A and B are shown apart, each in its own frame.
Chain A
């Protein structure tokens, strides 16, 4: 990998320890953008060293964190986050958060990188998993809704930006009134239609990092992948 080639290509890694990494690969292969996207499945630190950006897929965050530790990837990943763009979907979003609630007993290892606090399985068990149409301004064809697939998805509890960090930019929210009533998260008589409620946030950008609590890789719609490459990855390449 010499630097001459790196000017024409952009190398996007997908953390391939466990979960839906193959689906991200398919979505990236379909992209057409100004640079050729080279895809690397990241299982060891040497794979990560070749990447200009990284996607952490959905899966089980406890399993992915354990496998990352056993593969000696935790510290390389934390260093990577300080320099290069990373996008986490669902389990990946949990790993990018600075704090997590509803963790397994004894807590869980995180990578950090984004100033948000999330709750795992914020909607409840699998029978509460759902699809919902999202209107997202930053995407190509913003009038066309994006099908958000939420599977035992995490919920954003709070944003805690500090002055040193890049600002948090909310990319997408759930339509009002979709927060589940059955959970302890929202009490039955609480008004959950407040447009500023952090729990309706489902996609956020902070600097070059992005998290989505849903799974764009489970749809055939690659607009979020296109957005990540266009808004986070390509700008990070130029000096």
Chain B
């Protein structure tokens, strides 16, 4: 599979950003005679680093995007239906109408993200061409490929991908993802799966961090992860890219819980605009992510938020099925 983008894939991330004082790798220059480099892994993962400590909110129109921006969202995710509605309505879920995404881009100054189906690299080419800031290759939409994910190195626009465990996260990073989120169980308002995924990633990293090289080789085979990325995660004692929580976060306490479990920020999907007072809840979750270690502030911001979204129990009867199992 090839995409008509001329950037070369960059090396997987070292530590937390671009390659320091080393010369910038040769890349397509922006202009004749210029020597700047577009779409390096450094600027891709760098934007995720700028989003840290922030909340990324799902919005379905320009009006919601403005509410999110005023409430302090660090970015918005533009989509036609929030996950709770995708669950309720069923059917095949696809990339949103580019006109609708552009109307959101025009409405706000913060970064705008949009979702593509797993493996659907043409949807990604379309979103890159309209100048979207980040692409989510998301299990919330119906997968377009049941074996392959998008080769994300081929794009100038950066990608975020979901993961349930360390192996899955490192496979996505090796494909070029510059940003990882837990999958959680989107559209349920139930944080239990996001907790499971974050705990699993952190516990596997802790395990790897005390292994010697022989053990790391065996462990890399075991969790189906590229050895060099596993070694990097073990050395850093964290994922080598920014890691947000997503899927089922509905309250300020949920958001602070995920932050205390080691996430760098949170995505809130249906939890805001399916609640009684979206603007107030959005602002409270933004504050909860900043002051996640301060129970006094958390108590203040949790007061009088109105009705939260209706939550779903995650069992075999879950309407719309388990989305987190999509992705390979």
Chain A residues within CB distance 8 Å of chain B? 16-23, 26, 43, 58-60, 62-63, 66-67, 70-71, 90-91, 102-106, 120-121, 124-133, 144, 146-147, 149-152, 174-175, 177-178, 180-181, 215, 218-221
Contact = CB atoms under 8 A, between A and B. Distances in A.
B24 A133 contact: yes
Given A43-B291, A121-B109, A129 B35 contact: no
Contacts of B105: 125
Contacts of A219: 17-21
Contacts, number: 181
B18 A127 contact: no
B36 A130 contact: yes
B72 A104 contact: no
A55 B14 CA distance: 25
B21 A220 contact: yes
Contact of A18 (B16, B24, B53): B53
A124 B72 contact: no
Contacts of A63: 54, 72-74, 110, 286
A17 B132 CA distance: 25
Contacts of B38: 127-130
A130 B54 contact: no
28 contacts: A20-B52, A23-B49, A26-B16, A43-B290, A43-B291, A58-B49, A59-B54, A60-B75, A63-B54, A63-B110, A66-B283, A67-B72, A104-B69, A121-B109, A126-B111, A130-B36, A130-B40, A131-B43, A133-B35, A147-B18, A147-B19, A147-B22, A152-B111, A174-B36, A218-B18, A219-B17, A219-B21, A220-B20
B46 A215 contact: yes
B131 interface: yes
Nearest to A66: B72
Given A104-B109, A127-B156, A17 B290 contact: yes
B17 A150 contact: no
Contacts of A105: 66, 107
B267 interface: no
A156 B291 CA distance: 32
A223 to B, nearest CB: 9
Given A147-B21, A151-B47, 16 more contacts: A17-B290, A18-B74, A19-B74, A43-B294, A58-B50, A59-B74, A60-B75, A66-B72, A91-B50, A104-B110, A125-B133, A126-B132, A132-B24, A151-B46, A178-B36, A181-B31
A39 B287 CA distance: 23
Given A60-B75, A130-B37, A221 B21 contact: yes
Contacts of A152: 47, 50, 111, 133
Interface of B: 15-24, 30-31, 33-40, 42-43, 46-47, 49-54, 66, 69-75, 105, 107-111, 128, 131-134, 156-158, 283, 286-287, 289-291, 294
B239 to A, nearest CB: 14
B36 A131 contact: yes
Chain A interface mostly helix, strand, loop or mixed? loop
A152 B287 CA distance: 24
B24 A147 contact: yes
The 6 closest A-B pairs by CB, nearest first: A220-B20, A126-B133, A132-B36, A129-B43, A218-B17, A125-B131
A149 B42 contact: yes
Contacts of A180: 30
Contacts of B36: 130-132, 174, 178
A147 B20 contact: yes
Most buried by B among A63, A106, A177: A63
Nearest to A18: B53
B52 A18 contact: yes
B75 A70 contact: no
Contacts of B290: 16-18, 43, 67, 71
Contacts of B69: 62, 104
Nearest to B113: A126
A64 to B, nearest CB: 9
B52 A19 contact: yes
B74 A124 contact: no
Given A18-B74, A175-B35, A218 B52 contact: no
Most buried by B among A103, A125, A130, A219: A130
A234 to B, nearest CB: 24
Most buried by A among B15, B17, B35, B37: B17
A130 B34 CA distance: 12
Contacts of A215: 46, 50
Contacts of B40: 130-131
Contact of A131 (B18, B70, B286, B289): B18
